[in-house]
């Protein structure tokens, strides 16, 4: 059996991290799948997924870490000077909407994370560890976002 769901979220400005675990568990219970896998797939180029601890101070550390990896402003380069993000040269890109943000840094953050996660389903439960949660990272909010959840496997034998 394969069941597809779209999980919808409206993100906050800047980097936002949303815990999807409860909703995924709810969809799993409703599916009746007993053993299989849950696939989550991020449907945007400036979002990502990760399994990690949903602890407030850690989430703030993650935001600082990502902003250091890909700062919003020009990056310094060895030997002096700086490198601007070419993606932000909107006048050099074709077919750009009027509301296009300067978001090269968000794309760079996204490629350091993952676009998908696969979680085993064992005895009707997500096989997550004690402190593991399914986290959606929006690196360019606020925006409306969707994540594809695909549950597949077999129902409990009766």
Domain count, the chain: 1
Instruction: List, for residues 126-142, the tens digit of each pLDDT value.
Output: 999 999 999 999 999 99
**Within a domain: residue 27?**
yes
Residue 84 · residue 123 · CB < 8 Å? no
Q: Give the structural domain span for 22.
A: 2-72+103-153
**Residue 134 lies inside a defined structural domain of this protein:** yes
Is 82 within the bounds of a domain? no
Give me the CATH number covering residue 57: 2.60.120.460
pLDDT tens by residue, 107-116: 999 999 999 9
For 25, residues 6+ apart whose C-beta sits below 8 A from its C-beta are: 126
Residue 87 lies in a domain: no
Does 96 reside within a domain? no
Our CA dihedral for 55, 104, 143, 2, rounded to 10 degrees, sits at -70
- Tell me what pLDDT residue 83 has: 77
State percent of the chain over pLDDT 70.
97
Interval 102-125 mean pLDDT: 96
């Amino acid at each position: 059996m394969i069941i597809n769901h779209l999980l919808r979220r409206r993100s906050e400005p800047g980097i936002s991290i949303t815990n999807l675990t409860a909703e995924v568990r709810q969809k799993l219970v409703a599916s009746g799948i007993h053993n299989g896998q849950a696939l989550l797939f991020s449907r945007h180029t400036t979002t990502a997924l990760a399994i990690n601890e949903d602890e407030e101070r850690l989430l703030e550390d993650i935001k600082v870490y990502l902003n250091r990896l890909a700062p919003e402003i020009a990056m310094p380069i060895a030997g002096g000077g700086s490198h601007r993000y070419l993606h932000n040269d909107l006048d050099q890109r074709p077919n750009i909407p009027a509301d296009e943000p300067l978001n090269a840094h968000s794309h760079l953050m996204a490629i350091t994370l993952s676009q998908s996660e696969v979680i085993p389903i064992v005895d009707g439960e997500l096989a997550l560890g004690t402190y593991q949660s399914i986290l959606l990272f929006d690196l360019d909010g606020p925006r409306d976002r969707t994540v594809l959840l695909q549950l597949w496997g077999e129902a409990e034998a009766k």
